Structure 1
Amino acid sequence: MTGPLRAALSPVELGGVPLRNRVFVPGHTTNFGHENRPTARHADYHAERARGGVGLIITEAIRVHPTSAGRHISLGCFDDASIPAYAAIADAVHAEGAAIFAQIMHAGRQANGDATRTAAWSASALPWATGAHTPHAMSTRDIGTVVRAFGAAAARMSRAGYDGLEVHAGHGHLLQQFLSPVTNHRTDGYGGSAANRLRLTREVLTAVRETAPELPVGLRVSADEFLPGGLEPGDVIEIVAALREEFPLAYVHVSHSAYHGSWSLATQMADMSFGHAPFRHHAGMFRRALPGLPVLAVCRLDSVGEAAELIASGEADLVGLARPHIADPHLVRKAAEGREHETRSCVACNQGCIGRVELNLPISCVVNPEVGAERVWAGVHSRRRAGSVLVVGGGPAGLEAALAAHRRGKRVTLVEAADRLGGQVALAARVPGRERFGLLTRELERDVLAAGITVRTGVRADARLVRAECADDVVLATGSVPVRRELPGGPPVLDTWQAVETVCGEEAVPNVVVIRDDCGSWAAASLAEAFAARGARVHLVSPSASYSAQVTTYSRLALTKRFTDHGVRVHLLRTVRAKDSDTVVLTDPVSGGTEPITGVGAVVDAGAATSADALLHELADVARVHVAGDANAPRTALEAVYEGRVAGAVLAAEPDPEPVLLALSR
């Protein structure tokens, strides 16, 4: 174990609470709640990460008042009846040797008023994004209600057995809405000067200290709002310094961004396009400016090794790994045991975590489909059954199916038509900005080979081969193929696979490229960006009223900025037809108006793919055939990995899989 890693995994105290190491799981929304209370899924989820060796877990935001409740699947702490459910989480985490702090907050203006038919509350009547509801500008009576709610929530968390509290004053939530001159236009004692804007946070901390004096209290802040006229690191350091003089802060947890419909929000869940640890410098600024105050760092830190770097360099005292712990709950234990090479890495795709949160669904993970169903999957893995499985296809679904079946005790053979494994993920990872996605299949391949699974590449399976194998179960993970719709008499048309070869090749790209984005997927978006980065004039054309609709808002806001930087033209509510060999015409289906695009060297058809399922229909007489991933229906890697694991671990290993499948669907 290296010196930096040893330091990161060494014991430390935070606010008097002993922690077994300096790595923590920061608060992140799970959507596992019911009627704004935690469920057994929360307890199982956090217990698994505590079992994986982390020192501290900070809960997702616990809303202190019904005006912040939003969806019923979020967490709230509005009355004493919620205490037992929170105690169950604390007990589960403590049983596995980790400490747990409760993060308490009020979302303010971005609370979902539609869910409760009530107005959201904020410092001023300013919506968080274009088209969002205008919030209610809080009266002094409302402010008093919220302050008391923070105090009451703190007392309940104390009674539930939590080790500490984190007051959320960042991410553009209510306290930050009062702190920031961008969102606070008040003229009373809570607005105007910096001291007045700080008043609500001071009152909240006072209430929390009075009702739960035995608990250490930390503060989460956004170092930079990334908004014109907004809070910058120097401003926030002054805020924390002022609060530190008045309150015994246990730590400051340094994040960034505002909940605002702009690039700022994209930084809060920085995806793979941001590169390595893009905001690590923020924590160091606070640590240098506020000596003696423990500083917690967070955001797009992808591994225990990176956490160790920050601690060794003196930039932070503790480091938070949120998405990495979603992807691999045991990454700390693996590092401590010298097994970092076995870690399943977060690919920072935002598909299963924040992408599902945005859809009001429980989180999952492209890399780890067991998220939120840890107890059910533990039961599945505990049962081993002999037998043989043939997996056809070496993309994410096939690789995952092979591993899952092997772990259940099956003898597995995997055949892949191409000369290498990885499928379409390996292809997508060639596109600049999407390289990290390749970790998914590279690590799956690593684990498949380490398990000793028989792998035969360059073998195209047909019905005769499948029957000759005489496997007890067959998993078809043959993927999908792109569709190319020609434009007769028009410019040459490339499907998405051909477009990747073109933009990633050494030859010059066409001067003008039109991309037909019928699906709103990353395929069209990443190709548009890649062609533009190589100097092409790119026109992204969507027949719908939005673009990149399948890309989560958190990533799309960053994508929008990059489109702007690269000069990508976006045409919404437009259809494409050819005029001549280098001209296409865009038609507005509403008005019938047309717009020509001339000099077009290529049109990329990013329409829907089609399943490569011919082999399935040839095996109608084979009893146990299971289909996974795009061969089932063209979707994303999230579904492919999930269906692969289900196929290998459940369908191909359970004589009666229905009870398990029902449990997994809940």
Structure 2
Amino acid sequence: MSRDPLLQPYQLRHLTLKNRVMTTSHEPAYPEDGMPKARYRAYHAMRAKAGVALTMTAGSATVSRDSPPVFNNILAYKDEVVGWMRELTDECHDHGCAVMIQLTHLGRRTGWNKGDWLPSLAPSHLREPAHRAFPKKMEDFDIDRIVTDYADAAERMQAAGLDGIELQAYGHLLDQFWSPLTNAMDAPFGGDLENRLRFGFMVLDAIRARVGSEFIVGVRYTADETAKGGITEHEGLEIAHRLRDSGQVDFLNVVRGQIHTDPAMTDVIPVQGMKSAPHLDFAGKVRAASGMPTFHAARIPDVATARHAISAGLLDMVGMTRAHMADPMIVQKVVEGREDDIRPCVGATYCLDRIYQAGEALCIHNPATGRELSMPHVIPTAETRKRAVIVGAGPGGLEAARVAAERGHDVTVFEAAPDPGGQIRLTAQSKRRAEMIGITDWRMAQCAARDVTFHFNRFAEAEDVIALDPDVVVIATGGLPEVTILENGNDLAISAWDILSGDVAPGENVLIYDDAGDHPALMAAEAIAATGAHVEIMTRDRSFAPEVMGMNLVPYMRALQDKDTTFTVTRTLQSLAKSGNLLEATIGTDYSAHTEKRVFDQVVVNQGTLPLDDLYFDLKPLSRNLGAVDQTALVSGAGALFPDTNQAGTFDLYRIGDAVSSRNTHAAIYDALRLGIQW
């Protein structure tokens, strides 16, 4: 029997959890029509199969019609959810994994113009900044109805065979009652702590009356809002004691902070460059004070930190939720002594940012996550061994090399630079985003273990590729900054890459014209502002940096707002001209014929990249498929991937990532995976 603290079983009342690792409640936004169908089930089943002890579904499943999802959540108020949840639960149980679900009423944390267009509700009229809706202040009949809705939803989950439920009590309706910042009710539901807790205990009583004493019920709550006038640590511990003493609650899932704004949520769920496990010791304090079984998750990205959380007695179950999006096989690899093989979570938080921008959760460097029905986490061996040549060792090229090597192919990689990484290496120049290099390092280690041959400092020509007599050639050469978007004066501007690489020193009065809206412009702004220079970030859009998204925007704002920086929207940079030693910028707008002229000493343009594709076009006439890929076969995973259109050709050829068009890291890696598993 293993002596690893993480692999020890844990007894939660009658439920034996086979180890101490769980994925906490989160909503990847995979439901269909509000139901956890095949895609959702496959996502959780993969982690169950790989050894996680408890998978907590939904984040959160909504119990009432007037709590419409802000993104694609499970609708726990519909009876049809029972069958779908039973299928998910049964499959996870087959792998020895317990299943619970988080239930909630969102209260003010949603919009009135969603779902059935019912008014949002809260114990006050205060708007939540993140979701903007002004709620109706609840009446007595609202309270009675929602209490019943909670009990109905819990009964549905018990009928579906789940092992338990968790009530969401931070930021959502229960917490909106508990917090003095959001509760403006009169007695008996407002005022002192006992009154503010009353609604929550009514919910717990109703649930217990419906599901009995044996069904596991936990609460995820904030034990310290870290905000003036909010729930204090002292009050948070008192809440823990009252939940314990009620006899209604089987575990606590501890949170610290608030989630009503992007900055507040980022402190609760930190992104890269922020401290790992910032609330772990606090969760341990709640456990020690309450004596309650305690769960917790907040940027616990690696096995060492998780192991410490258990061995030090800080937690009973440790949540590694984003880590399991990067690598669902963490527990299996720990059991097999392969911790070095774990794909690291680099804290990019592409997953959460996509959800809150009304998308779906995707990992920045594991494209199989959320695509378990079509993409493998374990690469299958090919029937025939082939010779593969990959040109470019950025994230896409390295993924292509890794996948081809795992398929059993003979792989050679050419890279013009002295080191691998491509644009990731440029990104990692920022101390705050240095973890991104894990995307490169992990793939290099995987390739080294599979004898991939690398040629660095080698600008490959067509003859270099052909000399290796390849069966397949992958062009992953990326792109170079687009610098020709102005009517005049393109040669007077520099790119964000010039600043980030250190090739050009920052000016003193700098305009950054960001027409792409992604990370490089803000990274350049951060670097320039740190020197004391004035920086103006300008965009033609009505909001800036839309590709960076909410949580990732927070550290940029924290780095820039105390500096000499300004943000200008709905303006276009039309042209540049010399004005002595300075640059005169002609600035217009898409909204009218208005123009103005202003002077800067440096202008940075961020407009994505143009493909570095000369080698691809040199090789194209020599290939069997003339570079073409059958899109139907690519998407379906069935049929001939490469049309055999050139009988004189000797190899199949395709390109990926920015060598095709300016996109992002995830797109390049996904290109590499879904093409690579089909040959």
What is the aligned counterpart of 1:550 among 547, 553, 559?
A: 547
Secondary structure in 1 matching 2:318: strand
- Between 1:220-229 and 1:18-27, the stretch displaced more is 220-229
> Where do 1:368-379 residues align within 5 Å?
368-378=366-376
Q: In 2, are the aligned partners of 1:168 and 1:219 still within 8 Å (CA)?
A: yes
Aligned to 1:513: 510
The change in CA–CA distance for 1:385 and 1:456 in structure 2 (over 3 A counts) is farther
Question: How far apart, in 2, do the equivalents of 1:388 and 1:649 lie?
Answer: 15
1:266 Cα deviation from its structure 2 partner: 2.2
Determine the C-alpha separation between the residues in 1 that align with 2:461 and 2:522. Answer: 35
Correspondence 1:468-479 to 2 at 5 A: 468-479=467-478
Q: CA deviation at 1:567?
A: 4.2
Contact 2:500–2:523 under 8 Å retained in 1: no
Q: 1:24 to 1:619 in 2, by over 3 A?
A: same
SS at match of 1:455: strand
Equivalent in the alignment of 2:339: 340
- For 2:663, the equivalent position in structure 1 comes to 635
1:103/1:167 contact within 8 Å kept: yes
Match status 1:239 vs 2:239: yes
Question: Are 2:422 and 1:423 aligned?
Answer: yes
Alignment of 1:53-202 (within 5 A): 53-60=51-58, 61-70=60-69, 73-116=72-115, 117-129=117-129, 132-170=132-170, 172-202=171-201
Query: Structure 1's 380 and 143: CA in aligned 2 closer, same or farther, altered over 3 A?
Result: same
For residues 2 and 130 of structure 1, do their structure 2 counterparts lie closer, same or farther at Cα, with a shift above 3 Å needed?
Answer: closer
1:72-471 alignment to 2 at 5 Å?
Answer: 73-116=72-115, 117-129=117-129, 132-170=132-170, 172-213=171-212, 214-290=214-290, 292-351=291-350, 353-378=351-376, 381-382=379-380, 384-386=382-384, 387-471=386-470
Query: For 2:413, what is the secondary structure of its paired residue?
Result: strand
Report the more deviating stretch, 153-162 or 588-597.
588-597
Going from structure 1 to structure 2, the CA distance change for 1:571 and 1:329 (only over 3 Å counts) comes to: same
Report if the CA contact (8 A) 2:130-2:262 is conserved: no
Question: Which sits farther off after the overlay, 81-90 or 579-588?
Answer: 579-588
Q: Distance in 2 between matches of 1:275 and 1:613?
A: 40
CA distance in 2, matches of 1:534, 1:315: 42
In 1, distance between residues paired with 2:382 and 2:436?
31
In the other structure, the counterpart of 1:661 is none
**1:562 paired residue number:** 559
Q: CA deviation at 1:343?
A: 0.5
Change (3 A) 1:570 1:256: same
Q: 1:534 to 1:212 in 2, by over 3 A?
A: farther
Question: Is the contact made by 1:26 and 1:322 (CA closer than 8 Å) also made in structure 2?
Answer: yes
Deviation at residue 628 of structure 1 after TM alignment? 0.9
TM-score (norm 1): 0.90
CA contact (8 A) 1:490 1:582 kept: no
**Which one is further off, 261-270 or 200-209?**
261-270
| Aligned position for 1:658 | none
Distance 1:98 1:348 in 2: 26
1:260 and 1:354 map into 2 onto residues whose CA distance is 15
Distance of 2:24 and 2:377 partners within structure 1? 28
Contact 1:266–1:554 (Cα < 8 Å) also in 2: yes
- By how many angstroms is 1:340 displaced? 0.9
In structure 2, the CA distance between the partners of 1:215 and 1:534, relative to structure 1 (3 Å rule), is farther
**Are the counterparts in 1 of residues 163 and 215 from structure 2 also a CA contact under 8 Å?**
yes
Query: Does 1:619 find its partner at 2:615?
Result: no
User: Per the alignment, in what secondary structure is the counterpart of residue 376 of structure 1?
Assistant: coil
- Alignment match, 1:659: none
Task: Quote the offset at 1:40 in angstroms.
Answer: 1.4
| Structure 1 position 122, deviation (Å) | 1.9
- Cα shift at 1:192: 2.6
The range that moved more, 377-386 or 517-526, is: 377-386
CA–CA distance in structure 1, aligned partners of residues 177 and 670 of structure 2: 42
Deviations 1:354-377 (Å, cap 9, x if unpaired)?
A: 122123333221221111222433
Q: Secondary structure at the match of 1:75?
A: coil
8 Å Cα contact 2:223-2:232 kept in structure 1: yes
Instruction: Give secondary structure in 2 for the equivalent of 1:273.
Output: coil
Distance 1:159 1:257, change over 3 A: same
> TM-score, normalized by length of structure 2?
0.89
2:643 corresponding residue in structure 1 = none
- Give the match for residue 484 of structure 1: 483
Q: Which amino acid is the alignment partner of residue 654 of structure 2?
A: H
Deviation string 1:384-435 (CA, Å, 9 cap, x unpaired) is: 2312222111111111111112222322222111121111101111112110
Q: Encode CA deviations 1:230-250: one digit per residue, 9 max, x unaligned.
A: 223332222222222223421
What is the CA–CA distance in structure 1 between the aligned matches of 2:205 and 2:432, rounded to whole Å? Answer: 46
The DSSP-based 3-state class of the residue aligned with 1:114 is coil
1:380·1:649 contact (CA, 8 Å) conserved in 2?
A: no
Q: Which runs of 5+ in 2 are unaligned?
A: 625-651
Q: Secondary structure at the match of 2:454?
A: strand
- Which of 9, 12, 20 is the aligned partner of 2:7? 9
Instruction: Give the Å deviation of 1:59.
Output: 1.1
Distance 1:608 1:586 in 2: 21
Amino acid at match of 2:217: V
Is the Cα contact below 8 Å between 1:99 and 1:163 reproduced in 2?
yes
Name the CA distance, whole Å, in 2 between partners of 1:471 and 1:145. 68
Mapped contact 1:101–1:162 kept (Cα < 8 A): yes
**Separation in structure 1 between the aligned mates of residue 365 and residue 236 of structure 2, nearest angstrom:** 35
**How far apart in 2 are the matches of 1:118 and 1:528?**
43
- Computed over aligned residues only, the root mean square deviation of the Cα atoms, in angstroms, reads 2.6
Give secondary structure in 1 for the equivalent of 2:11: strand
Q: Check conservation: 2:380, 2:677, Cα contact below 8 A.
A: no
| Aligned pair partner of 2:32 in 18, 31, 34 | 34
TM superposition shift of 1:226: 4.3
Amino acid across the alignment from 1:191: G
Following superposition, the deviation at residue 345 of structure 1 comes to 0.6
Quote the offset at 1:288 in angstroms. Answer: 3.1
**Bigger mean CA offset, 45-54 vs 480-489:** 480-489
Aligned-pair CA distance for 1:120: 2.1
In structure 2, the residue matched to 1:45 is: 43
Equivalent pair of 1:58/1:103 in contact (CA under 8 Å): yes
1:606 maps to: 606
Task: Report SS of the residue matched to 1:253.
Answer: strand
Match of 1:532 in 2: 529
Instruction: Say whether the 8 Å CA contact 1:365–1:371 is kept in structure 2.
Output: yes
Q: Cα–Cα, structure 1 residues 607 and 619, in superposed 2: closer, same or farther, change >3 Å?
A: same
Q: Structure 1: give runs of 5+ residues left out of the alignment.
A: 654-666
Task: Indicate if the aligned counterparts of 2:71 and 2:356 stay in contact, CA closer than 8 A.
Answer: no
Return the alpha-carbon distance in structure 1 between the equivalents of residues 566 and 362 of structure 2.
33
Larger relative contact order (Cα-Cα within 8 Å, sequence gap ≥ 6): 1
Displacement after TM superposition at 1:302 (Å): 0.5
Other structure's SS at 1:221 match: strand
**Native 8 Å contact 1:269 1:350 kept in 2:** no
Q: What is the rounded CA distance, in whole Å, between the counterparts of 1:141 and 1:126 in structure 2?
A: 20
CA distance in 1, matches of 2:26, 2:467: 49
Structure 1 residues 572 and 584: CA distance shift in structure 2, 3 A:
farther
**Equivalent pair of 2:204/2:248 in contact (CA under 8 Å):** no
Tell me if structure 2 keeps the 8 A contact 1:15–1:217. no
